[in-house]
Every structure is written in C-alpha cells, then in structure tokens.
Structure 1
Amino acid sequence: MQQITGREAAVAVLNDPRFVVPPVPPGASGIAWLRATVGRFSSGPAHDRRRALAVAVLDAVPPATLRTGGGHPVTVLARALGIAEPVMDLVRDVAQAYQPGTGDESRADAAVDRLVTILGGRHDEPTAALIGVLTQACDATATLIERARHRPVDEVLHADPPVRATRRQAQVATTVGRVTVQAGEVVLVGLAGGPAFGAGPRRCPGWDHALALVAGALARDSPSVHEGTPDTAPGTGRD
C-alpha cells in the first residue's frame, strides 16, 4: 500500500473529494454492524448525517468538564455522558478490531452487542454514534496521554501522533506530490507533521475533547492509563 507523507500532500488528499474512506461491507450485528453504521467508515450524505450524530454526542459534554475526572479516557467520557455501567473493557474490545482486519472480531462482536444492550438495546445510528465516539476516545487518547508525560503535547502531535495514518481510496487516477495513484487504489495518508487530527470535512470532531482529557490526566499526574493497551496501528484514523 502506497503512503502519502508530508503535511502538504496529506492535507491535499484529506480535502480532496476524489479520495474517500474505503467502504466496509454491511452487517446486521457486532463489529460489522458498527462499522457499517458509524460516520467513520461512511461517505456522502450518510457520512454527513452520522457525523452530525457524533457531533451531537460530543456537544453534550463541555470539554472543560473532562479535565476533572479520573481514570482511563473512556471512563471519564462515559461518566460525563451519563453512562453508569462500566464500559471501558468493552470499548477496548471494540477498539482492537475497529479497523477491518486488525483484531479479534469475535471478541469485538460480543462487546458491541453488549454495549448496544447497555445503551438502550437499539441497533440504530444514534447508538452506533455513541459507541463510535467512545471507541475513538480509547487507544489513541490513552497513547497521547502516555507520550505527553515525557514530551510537550504539541511536540507529540507533530512528530509522533498516536494515530499515525488514515486510509483513503482514490476514485480517479491522480498524482499527489510524486506519488501516482490509480483509480480504486487505497493509500495510507500520514498524519505526522501537523494534521494529527486529520483535515478537511472529516477532521476529528472530538479533538478539543481529546486535548481536555489529556490535560486533565497530566494535571492529575495519575498512574498509567495505557497499561495493556496496544499502540494504535496505521490506518486507524479518527474521522
């Protein structure tokens, strides 16, 4: 898989409507249902509608309130969203297989179905949006907190972002910088050098919430929140 590196080229791809998120197959339950129902893996009007649902979830939580809670980022965010039952382990099980082909899907299936039950029992877009927000706050934010314990946050985001790349599929043949991309080809778009939270219409809608979670964890100088959580793999962009 070819890589698009450098901030200028990456931002150009992320703003180019000719590059879309690779589609995922439909699913009636489990992780396949989640991928097929969240904005992260959608395009066009479906993405716009589902992204708006995720933004509404985030809008219900002022970022400043995330600076005061303790624990893993998922625990803090879930508490702020009014979710009383512990969900961190379930969200971790979802996160490890959120990107197709990256983890144990049977474990993720069970976790998604349990989360749906906890969140009201409906396999619908609002429920998927809520699970998606929690999932995207999981490994990447915890990794950012760990790295920021040793270096300034801005430096980490610029040089060593927790999500190193995101995937895009070219709809037409084109050239980006010195890279020639064929129609239908999937490329990895590097997020180091400035676009750590993405760019363009799919920029991570929760970037200020993520930074609030980081600031709160660093201010408390809490023990590691990332123990036992694998580093985020390339291609798990947060859009």
Structure 2
Amino acid sequence: MQQITGREAAAVLRDPRFVVPPVPPGATGIAWLRASVGRFSTGVAHDRRRALAVAVLAAAPPATLPAGGDGHPVTVLARALGITEPVTDLVRAVAQAYQPGTGDESRADAAVDRLVTILGGGYDEPTAALIGVLTQACDATATLIERARHRPVDEVLHDDPPVRVTRRQALVATTVGGVPVQAGEVVLVGLAGGPAFGAGPRRCPGREHALTLVAGALARDSPTVHEGTPDTAPGTGTD
C-alpha cells in the first residue's frame, strides 16, 4: 500500500475523488459503531453524522473545559458532557480497535455495548456520535499530551502527530505526485507536515477541544508553561 505525504497528502484529503474506505455494517458492538459514525462514512451520511458529532462538541465548549483539569482527556471531556459514570476504561477498550483490523474486537464489542447502556441511548446515530467523539479524544489526545511535555505542541503536530496516517480509497484512476493510483486502490495518507487534524470537509471538528485539553494537562504539570502551548499550535488534524 503506497503512502502519500507532504503537499500531496493535504490535497488528497481535500479531493472528492478519494473517500474513506467503507466498513461492513453491524447491529451491535464495534462494527455497529464504525458503521454509524461520520469517521467511516461518506456523502450525505457523513454530513449528517458529522453534524451530530459537532453538536456533541458544542455541548461542551472548549472554554468550559477546566484549565489544568486532572485526569485522562476522556475523563475531562466526559465530565464536561455531563456523563457521571466512569467511562474512560471503556472508551480505551473501544479506541484500541476503532480502526478495522487493529485490536481486540471482542473487547471492543463488550465496551461499546456497555457504553450504549451507560449513555442511556440505543443503537442509533446520536449515541454513536457521542461514543465516537469520546473515542477520537482518547489515545490521540493522550499521546499529544505526553509528547508535548517534552517538545512544543506545534512542533509535535507538524513533525510527529499522534495519528501518523489515515486511509483513503480512490473512486477513479488518477495520479498523485506523479504516481498512478488505480480506481478502488486504498492509499495511506501521511498526517505529518501540516495536516495533523486533517483537511477539507473532513477536518477534525474537535481541534480546539483537543488543544484545550492539552493546554490543561500542561498547565497542571507546570503552571508557568507558556511557550509552544496549544494556543500557538497550527491548525491541523484527523477525520
């Protein structure tokens, strides 16, 4: 599988001829979650599901997240969203297999089903959007916090983002950076060098939340940290 980096990577993320590879449907568990969130959707389904995720984030504006708040990013965000039961370990179990073929799916299945019960919803898109927001705030934000303890945040995002690659599938045969890509071919799109939070219509809607969570963690570690904090980070991200 070829990897696309640099300017071409950002261009692919904006190019409607490249879509997120489809995922199979599922009635419950991690397969249901993937098939019900914007992250793995395209077209009108993506737009509808993305709007639900944006609404979740709007319920906890970045300014309301506690400066120097203690705990894992998921814990902080869940509290801000009014979730009183502990869900961080469950979200971690989901995150480790969120991308198809990356983790223990039986563990993720049990965690997703438990989260649906805790959140009081059903196997519907609003509940999936809430779980998806928490999942995408999990490992990536925690990793960014850890790396930002040793290097400026903007440098981490540019050179060593928590999510290194994402995948896209070509709808038609095309050429990227002089390299032919066949219709149906899946390529890896590198997120270093600028697009750490994505680009185009799938640009991460939680960028400001993530940077605020990082700033809070750094402030907790050292109240005098100023240089290179997320306030100065460039706009970049994931799906």
The one-letter code of the counterpart of 1:191 is L
Distance 1:58 1:121 in 2: 17
- Matched-pair contact (CA < 8 Å) for 1:58–1:206: yes
**Unpaired runs of 5+ in structure 2?**
223-236
Deviations 1:164-195 (A, max 9, x none): 01100000011111321100000000000011
Deviations 1:57-81 (A, max 9, x none): 0011110222432100000000000
Cα displacement (A) at 1:238: 3.2
2:49 maps to 50
Distance 2:238 2:40 in 1: 10
1:205 maps to 205
Q: TM-score, normalised by structure 2?
A: 0.92
1:59 maps to 58
Deviations 1:216-239 (A, max 9, x none): 0000008xxxxxxxxxxxxxx831
- Matched-pair contact (CA < 8 Å) for 1:67–1:215: no
2:232 maps to none
- Matched-pair contact (CA < 8 Å) for 1:67–1:217: no
- 2:160 maps to 1:171: no
What is the DSSP-based 3-state SS (H/G/I as helix, E as strand, rest coil) of the residue aligned with 2:103? Answer: coil
Q: CA RMSD in A?
A: 1.0
Distance 2:175 2:23 in 1: 25
- Matched-pair contact (CA < 8 Å) for 2:196–2:238: no
Deviations 1:193-219 (A, max 9, x none): 011000000000000000000000000
Distance 1:27 1:198 in 2: 27
- Matched-pair contact (CA < 8 Å) for 2:52–2:129: yes
What is the DSSP-based 3-state SS (H/G/I as helix, E as strand, rest coil) of the residue aligned with 2:65? Answer: helix
Deviations 1:133-160 (A, max 9, x none): 0000000000000000000000000000
Trace 1:74-93 onto structure 2 (pairs within 5 A).
Answer: 74-93=74-93
Distance 2:83 2:95 in 1: 18
Trace 1:94-113 onto structure 2 (pairs within 5 A).
Answer: 94-113=94-113
Distance 1:53 1:28 in 2: 20
What is the DSSP-based 3-state SS (H/G/I as helix, E as strand, rest coil) of the residue aligned with 1:112? Answer: helix
- Matched-pair contact (CA < 8 Å) for 1:119–1:127: yes
Trace 1:29-44 onto structure 2 (pairs within 5 A).
Answer: 29-44=28-43
Distance 2:145 2:66 in 1: 13
What is the DSSP-based 3-state SS (H/G/I as helix, E as strand, rest coil) of the residue aligned with 2:45? Answer: helix
The one-letter code of the counterpart of 2:182 is Q
Q: Once the two structures are aligned, what percentage of the paired residues are identical?
A: 88
Number of aligned pairs?
Answer: 224
Trace 1:225-236 onto structure 2 (pairs within 5 A).
Answer: none
1:186 maps to 186
Distance 1:57 1:35 in 2: 17
- 2:138 maps to 1:138: yes
- Matched-pair contact (CA < 8 Å) for 2:36–2:128: yes
Distance 1:155 1:131 in 2: 29
Q: TM-score, normalised by structure 1?
A: 0.92
Deviates more, 1:116-125 or 1:26-35: 116-125
- Matched-pair contact (CA < 8 Å) for 1:168–1:187: yes
2:127 maps to 127
